[in-house]
Amino acid sequence: MDTLRVLCIGDIIGPIGCAAFQSNIDRICKEHQIDVVIVNGENSSPRGRGITSRLVRFFKHNGVDVITTGNHIWAEREIYDQLDQLPELLRPANYPTDCPGNGVYVFTCKTGHTVAVINLQGRVFMRENLACPFKTAESILTFLRDKTDIIVVDFHAETTSEKAGLGYFLDGRVSAVVGTHTHVQTADERVLPGGTAFITDLGMVGPLNSMLGLKKEPIIQNFLTQMPVKFSVETSGPVIICGAWIEIDVRTGKAITIERIRLEDSEVSIDSGA
């Protein structure tokens, strides 16, 4: 059976997350014989919100094929004018069409197979008033019908119910639906009955002893006082690297297996990253 192995890495947080990614990605790819690498980079800037064109180059230099994002895509204004020139950097497809950039990317990977990646954002408990991700996915699948059956969806959403709903809605029509946004890896990875690999959330690449990658003390103070505080990225390790790899039958586009990845790196420092 001819197969393709796709690695999906969860939200990469700030310089320390980038450093951990850079230090570990080659080993991960070699160990699991990875053909395609997809990362969520919307938190990779030094502030922990947004992404810059320099970081896009950093990820591409480190073997990333596609960079997905979510609700923080607009946090760094420098990227606005770059999105249309960076097709491998996606913003959620269900943002208005007037927004720069695209939510789907079709490319030929190193094995010669055509792969499509779709980026969508959820609506439940999310601030943005976006188009329906379910209907947007349906429309994109029509566009992809004659292009490829190997399709991976990054669904950047808050609730488990919305993510599971999209997984079942697309079951048998895409190769994988992987969730991002909560920064907490879930233990529910599986291949759905129709052949679509699914996990509610990939998790993050960020400091273990933090709150979703941010310094914990100001957040605790906010809980105690309800007063505004400044959030900042935690800069000390150890760092966890979370994601999942999926093996896909290239003839049918169906997933064969999905396996979680969770590594801990106690040696990484922010001086070794992007």
Tokens of 98: 């007037």
Residue 93 CA to residue 104 CA, distance in Å, equals: 7
Q: How many domains does the chain have?
A: 1
Tell me the residue length of the chain.
274
How is the chain split among helix, strand and coil, in percent rounded to 5? 25, 30, 45
Task: Give the domain range for residue 14.
Answer: 3-272
User: pLDDT (tens digit, 0 to 9) for every residue of the chain, 274 residues total?
Assistant: 799 999 999 999 999 999 999 999 999 999 999 999 999 999 999 999 999 999 999 999 999 999 999 999 999 999 999 999 999 999 999 999 999 999 999 999 999 999 999 999 999 998 778 999 999 999 999 999 999 999 999 999 999 999 999 999 999 999 999 999 999 999 999 999 999 999 999 999 999 999 898 999 999 999 999 999 998 999 988 999 999 999 999 999 999 999 999 999 888 766 544 5
Q: Any idea which residues carry the catalytic annotation?
A: 72
Say what the pLDDT of residue 272 is. Answer: 44
Residue type, 266: S
State whether residue 175 is helix, strand or coil. coil
Q: Which of 96, 111, 107 is nearest to 67 (CA)?
A: 107
Q: How far apart are the first and last CA of the chain?
A: 38
CATH number of the domain residue 46 falls in:
3.60.21.10
